[in-house]
Amino acid sequence: MSVSSSSSCGVVLVKLPINANYVLPTLENPYEVYMTQYADGTHRMRYIGLFENNKSMLAITLNRDGNIFWNTIYIKQKQMNKSRVGWLLYAK
């Protein structure tokens, strides 16, 4: 996956890691969605996606400023449960 941006100054091409290919499918069709409270008192949405025969998990946090943070984990059930934090809003 690549992201490009063109301007009058030229073109910028950024190569994203392979797990970035899982971000959009996780946001469009999540396995679970949680509303999670953080230490600063804010709440953020956390989307969970499962891939590769449920052997890898992608956790995406949508920040209030519009930034997206994601982390890919090769999982066992215990590890997945650690990411299940907050109020469950959606589950398959």
Is pLDDT above 60 for 92? Answer: yes
Q: How far apart are CA 78 and CA 27, in angstroms?
A: 23
Residue 23 is predicted with a pLDDT of 85
Q: pLDDT category, 57, cuts 50, 70, 90?
A: confident
Residue 18 is predicted with a pLDDT of 55
- Closest to 86 (Cα-Cα) out of 42, 25, 31, 30: 42
Is pLDDT above 80 for 47? Answer: yes
Q: How far apart are CA 92 and CA 73, in angstroms?
A: 20
Is pLDDT above 50 for 66? Answer: yes
